[in-house]
Chains A and B, each alone.
Chain A
């Protein structure tokens, strides 16, 4: 081996190729020239490749590149040596070079295989270009078809550099006309000063938010828009252009205008105030009703008109804290409201908080209740008079009736059988008439007393009250069964509720038919309140009479069949009404009846 290295350049023992075989000149020179050419080409290729690849990527070249370069270099040298051997038979050097070439070649093959496999996965330029085109189209579409109008403006010239299809379509100018147009020309002349101010602000701060402006289309139509601008900056942070979004707010503006119109046109005085009560807007009706001019009202506190003297009013609390529900101030009560001239009138005042982009405002409506209140007072007075009259009449009527009843009874007692048959019958009719009338007068007295009573409501256990009523009627003794589910505790007048149950139970007993009465009492909670049901299995009634039976002195059966004046259910109805509920009956002839009444929810109900 060391011999080999020493003798690399030794040409001993080998003839120059020219002298090895019958080389003709052309043949020889073909070999030599070709080899030289190949050598030079093989040297150039890696050089060129290195230069270009290095320049493009500026990255470290991958190992395959070096292998390939080495392989080509050794090959090239090999060919050079073949040419040199024509003169200097340096076969030993050539052999070494060939050996290296062989090694490097196989090295390259081994490195190439995995790389080739990897390369299979790369996309072709056509595919990549396709991909890029698709993405571009997607974003183009998003941009062009955006619901808002997009504009890009050059900061220096103030001209439009780019815009989306939405703007083109909306304004009616062609794309070509728009690009290059001064952006200020898009705006309606009335809006230009503000647009200019916004632009200046943008140049300073790089941002514009929610500025309301008016655009003008080619056809002259005005569009209300809200402008938002973001800056495009160069590498030094200087603003070179803007990206703007213009949102069409005509619908919102129209709604606002409509709202203002509605408030203005309302026949009731309406105010818009801040949450603190300062009047910001008042409609025409305010001027008329209160006597102040609009200028006088704006800026004033609403307390000037609607005094806070009512103890239950805490407007801040009402409006400021619970915005989930708007509540009527005074909740149904008439409240005193003051005019400019100092006079008062009763009104219902409602406060409704409304959310606006500028914060929460309060809408107040005032409804004049003067007429309503006076009519109500008239009604109340008339009712009171009627009840008083009924009371007095029935009370005073009892005296002469007592005379009639007593003496006819005396006649009957003394002269029964002593006068003719006719007389007996006539006397009997008279007695009967008087007795009935006495019963009816007592009932009317009771009804009118019910109306006069105004005891405060207290918590009443319906279970207890039902029990009392059952016992008062001696239900268990008559063989009747009363099945009651757990009844609620409610707010009401105990005496009246006891009377109510007593009347219903006594009816059920009376109309139980041949069998002993079976009564079921239950209560169901509905959104209205408690619904109590008293069901019996007696003789029932024809449902078409369902309304009539609650009338005073209305009876469905003959006097001979069943006793009673027919006021029991009228009393039941009056009591239920006094408690704010409704009463009705469902029945079928022969299948019993169910009487239902509601007791509306009140606070403190359990």
Chain B
């Protein structure tokens, strides 16, 4: 449905999770490219810098150093130039208050981080199915 490789901005401070995400997405059939930043401030800098490629999709962890995920979300969604970008929040928190806050701040959806590899595989496959194949992403 979407032409060309999909660009994903991964905002994640845990290198283990970064590799895991790359690993699992590599197993999918859709062509995609990852940009990785490891804290909230870097994420905003990346998105605002004219030199960096604009991502089609952002995978955002909530638990980040410097600026946490919710702050990033707030910033991005109040920035007219950036707010159209769909943001998927990935977080190990199951707290109802976090979930609610994330949706209220304008994230596209909240995905609880799976606890095991199998779960992770399922999530990635689902993301691929839905976001790459079902959904029409806004053009860059």
| Chain A residues within 8 Å of B, Cβ to Cβ | 398-399, 402-403, 405-407, 409-410, 413, 435, 438
Residues of B close to A398: CB separation below 8 A = 92, 115
Judge whether A435 and B116 touch: CB under 8 Å. Answer: yes
Contact status B16-A409, CB under 8 Å: no
Instruction: Identify which of B14, B113, B116 contacts A405 (C-beta below 8 A).
Output: B116
B114 to chain A, nearest CB (A): 8
**Interface check B20, CB cutoff 8 A:** yes
> Taking the complex as formed, is B131 at the interface, i.e. its CB lies under 8 A from any CB of chain A?
no
Minimal Cβ-Cβ distance residue in A for B16:
A403
Q: Which of these, A402, A405, A406, A410, contacts B92 with CB under 8 Å?
A: A402
Given contacts A410-B20, A413-B117, 17 further A-B contacts (CB under 8 A): A398-B92, A402-B92, A402-B113, A402-B116, A403-B16, A405-B115, A405-B116, A405-B117, A406-B116, A406-B117, A406-B120, A407-B16, A409-B117, A409-B118, A410-B23, A435-B116, A438-B115
Contact B118 A402 (CB under 8 A): no
Question: In the complex, which residue of chain B has the Cβ closest to the Cβ of A399?
Answer: B92
Q: Which A residues are CB-close (under 8 A) to B23?
A: 410
**A205, B52: Cα distance in complex, Å:** 122
Question: Are B14 and A403 in touch, CB under 8 angstroms?
Answer: yes
Chain A residues within an 8 Å CB radius of B20: 406-407, 410
Residues of A within 8 A of B116 (CB): 402, 405-406, 409, 435, 438
8 nearest A-B pairs in the assembled complex, by CB-CB distance:
A409-B117, A403-B16, A406-B117, A405-B116, A402-B115, A406-B20, A438-B115, A410-B117
Which chain A residue lies CB-closest to B63? A399
**Residues 8 to 22 of chain B near chain A (Cβ within 8 Å):** 14, 16-17, 20
Give the chain A neighbours of B92 by CB distance below 8 A. 398-399, 402
A-B contact pairs, 17 of them (CB 8 A): A398-B92, A398-B115, A399-B92, A402-B115, A403-B16, A405-B115, A405-B116, A405-B117, A406-B16, A406-B20, A406-B116, A406-B120, A407-B16, A409-B116, A409-B117, A409-B118, A435-B116
- Shortest CB–CB separation between residue A402 and chain B, in angstroms? 6
| Residue from B17, B20, B117 whose CB has the most chain A CB atoms within 10 Å | B117
Q: Interface SS of chain A: helix, strand, loop or mixed? A: helix
Of all chain B residues, the one with the shortest Cβ separation from A441 is B115
In chain B between 68 and 126, which residues have their CB closer than 8 angstroms to a CB of chain A?
92, 113, 115-118, 120
List, in ascending order, chain A residues with CB within 8 A of B117's CB: 405-406, 409-410, 413
Distance of B7 from chain A, by nearest CB (Å): 25
Q: What is the distance, in angstroms, from B17's C-beta to the closest C-beta of chain A?
A: 8
* CA distance in complex: A413, B23 (Å): 12
Nearest CB of B to A449, in Å? 11
What distance in Å separates the Cβ of B2 from its nearest Cβ neighbour in chain A? 28
Assembly CA distance A587 to B118 (angstroms): 39
A438 to chain B, nearest CB (A): 6
CA distance A192 to B118 in the complex (A): 104
Query: CB-CB < 8 A to A407: which residues of B?
Result: 16, 20
Q: Closest residue to A406 on the B side, CB-wise? A: B117
A435 vs B119: C-alpha distance when bound (angstroms): 13
* Chain B positions within 8 Å of A403 at CB level: 14, 16-17
- Inter-chain CA distance A207–B20, complex, in Å, is 108
Bound-complex Cα distance A407 to B16 (A):
8
Q: In the bound complex, what is the Cα–Cα distance between A399 and B17 (angstroms)?
A: 10
- CA A409 – CA B17 in complex, angstroms? 14
Rounded to whole Å, the gap between the CB of A243 and the closest CB of chain B is 90
In the complex, residue of chain B having the shortest beta-carbon distance to the beta carbon of A410: B117
Quote the shortest CB–CB distance from B11 to chain A (angstroms): 17
Determine the residue in chain A with the shortest Cβ distance to B119. Answer: A406
B99 shortest CB reach to chain A, Å: 16
Residues of B within 8 A of A410 (CB): 20, 23, 117
What is the minimal beta-carbon distance from B39 to any residue of chain A, in angstroms?
Answer: 17
- Report the separation of the CA atoms of residues A399 and B118 in the bound assembly, to the nearest whole angstrom: 16
CA distance A181 to B31 in the complex (A): 132
Min C-beta distance of A184 to chain B, whole Å = 93
**In this complex, which of B14, B16, B17 has the most chain A Cβ atoms within 10 angstroms of its Cβ?**
B16
Q: What is the bound-complex CA distance between A406 and B118, given in angstroms?
A: 8
A435 vs B118: C-alpha distance when bound (angstroms) = 12
A601 to chain B, nearest CB (A): 35
Interfacial residues of chain B within 29-88, with CB under 8 A of chain A in the complex: none
C-alpha gap A438/B92 in the complex (Å): 14
> How many angstroms from the CA of A109 to the CA of B92 in the assembled complex?
135
A399 contacts across to B, CB distance below 8 A: 92
Q: In angstroms, how far is the closest chain B Cβ from the Cβ of A238? A: 99
Give the shortest distance, in Å, between A401 (CB) and chain B (any CB). 8
Identity of the chain B residue whose Cβ is nearest the Cβ of A438 in the assembled complex = B115
A405 and chain B: residue at smallest CB distance: B116
